[in-house]
């Protein structure tokens, strides 16, 4: 495989007539890392991926790959490969022929040897003679990955690669993609709208909203310290409650919410009315004598955890509790405490 390259966007925009699909987007994907473009439908993430691939051309701004300006370069000269949502396998060719197609067309005499090597990487060398219709969805996805790898690209692109798979298979295939990316040191740009998928596979996540970047960071950073309400609410579940921020003490400050006082990073916010994002698993019920109390309105058993809706003075709270041995019945009054992680101030 070639040495992994970085990908950099500098103030990139893409417009279709009067509609802006990507607006002043800047980021850098480090060599050998997996960066996920995450956001709701219509946010611009797929257009951004297509701009990297050269399937769309920018309206303004600059794109570099491996330090080389490819802003105006056609897709064939960018040294990237793309794995599509639909897999796009040729139904009349067997697995080996599908994987070898690219180098065969370019006249590479070692096309089949390279294809077998890449099939071995994804654990499908024994399936070389089978037709795509004889494979499961997960196996077809791995064939599509092998076909992209055989071109030995500097950058590998994934467009919603797991959306056609069921939940259990999605988890297994995403683990395989992550292991392959890490073992080969690939630079990968990965598009998904699935927050759990993004958290599971990414070195960094680029969250997009309304054609712009909302926040860039490591999965833990985005989950535990979202920049704003959109990121807090989009990356997993979050309870957004009103609170009162006290005087600063270094980087920390006391925060009061419904009689409960906690200490948080003030994140540069001025004392006064603020909003706090609280993750469902960061709420602790019936531990200690917390001054904040509420009533369980709904309780649901989901096998690995309980989900509660709790009516409290700060509003209705969604709670995830891993203790399924002692479920709390609806109508029960509970004390409400917060753990020391998954609670952060967010700008209004």
Angle at 297 between CA 296 and CA 299, to 5 degrees: 75
Return the pLDDT at 16: 93
In the chain, the N- to C-terminal Cα span, in Å, equals: 47
Return the pLDDT at 48: 98
Residues 6+ apart with CB under 8 A from 175: 200
Hey, which bits of the chain come out as E strands? 7-16, 19-29, 34-38, 60-65, 68-69, 80-83, 155-159, 187-192, 204-209, 212-217, 239-249, 252-257, 260-265, 272-278, 283-285, 293-301, 306-312, 315-321, 333-338, 343-346
Tens digits of per-residue pLDDT, 190-227?
A: 999 999 999 999 999 999 999 999 999 999 999 988 99
What residue spans of the chain are helical by DSSP H?
Answer: 45-53, 95-105, 111-121, 137-149, 167-184, 195-201, 219-224, 229-234
Listed by start position, the domains of the chain span: 7-224, 237-346
Q: Which CATH architecture has domain 237-346?
A: Beta Barrel (2.40)
Decide whether 7-224 matches 237-346 in CATH topology.
no
Return the pLDDT at 287: 67
Residues of the chain with pLDDT under 70: 1-2, 287-288, 348
Return the pLDDT at 2: 67
What span, in angstroms and rounded, lies between the C-alpha atoms of 21 and 33?
Answer: 25
Return the pLDDT at 348: 67
Return the pLDDT at 242: 94
Return the pLDDT at 278: 95
Return the pLDDT at 289: 78
Return the pLDDT at 340: 85
Return the pLDDT at 253: 95
**CATH class of the domain comprising 7-224:** alpha beta
The phi and psi torsions of 335 (rounded to 5 degrees) equal -90, 150
């Amino acid at each position: 495989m070639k040495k992994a390259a970085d990908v950099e966007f500098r103030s990139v925009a893409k417009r279709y007539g009067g509609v802006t699909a990507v607006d002043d987007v800047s980021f850098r994907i480090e060599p050998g890392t997996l960066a996920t473009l995450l956001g709701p439908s219509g946010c611009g993430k797929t257009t951004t991926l297509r701009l990297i691939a050269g399937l769309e051309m920018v309206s303004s701004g600059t794109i570099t790959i491996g330090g080389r300006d490819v802003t105006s370069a056609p897709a064939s000269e960018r040294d990237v490969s793309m794995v599509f949502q639909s897999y796009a396998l040729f139904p009349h060719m067997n697995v080996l022929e599908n994987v070898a197609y690219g180098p065969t067309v370019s006249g590479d005499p070692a096309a089949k040897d390279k294809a077998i090597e890449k099939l071995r990487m994804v654990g499908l060398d024994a399936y070389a003679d089978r037709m795509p219709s004889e494979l499961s969805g997960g196996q077809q996805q791995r064939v599509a990955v092998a076909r992209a790898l055989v071109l030995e690209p500097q950058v590998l692109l994934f467009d919603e690669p797991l959306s056609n798979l069921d939940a259990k298979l999605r988890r297994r295939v995403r683990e395989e993609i992550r292991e392959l990316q890490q073992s080969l040191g690939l630079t990968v740009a990965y598009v998904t709208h699935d927050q759990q998928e993004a958290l599971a596979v990414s070195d960094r996540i680029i969250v997009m909203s309304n054609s712009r970047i909302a926040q860039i960071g490591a999965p833990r950073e985005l989950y535990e310290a979202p920049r704003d309400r959109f990121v807090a609410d989009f990356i997993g579940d979050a309870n957004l409650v009103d609170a009162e921020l006290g005087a600063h003490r270094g980087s920390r400050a006391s925060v009061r919410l419904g009689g409960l006082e906690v200490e948080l990073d003030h994140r540069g916010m001025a004392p006064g009315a603020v909003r706090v994002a609280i993750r469902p698993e960061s709420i602790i019920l019936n531990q200690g004598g917390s001054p904040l109390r509420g009533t369980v309105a709904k309780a649901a058993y989901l096998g690995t955890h309980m989900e509660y809706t709790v009516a409290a003075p700060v509003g209705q709270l969604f709670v995830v509790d891993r203790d399924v041995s002692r479920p709390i019945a609806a109508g029960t009054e509970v004390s409400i405490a917060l753990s020391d992680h998954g609670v952060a101030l967010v700008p209004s």
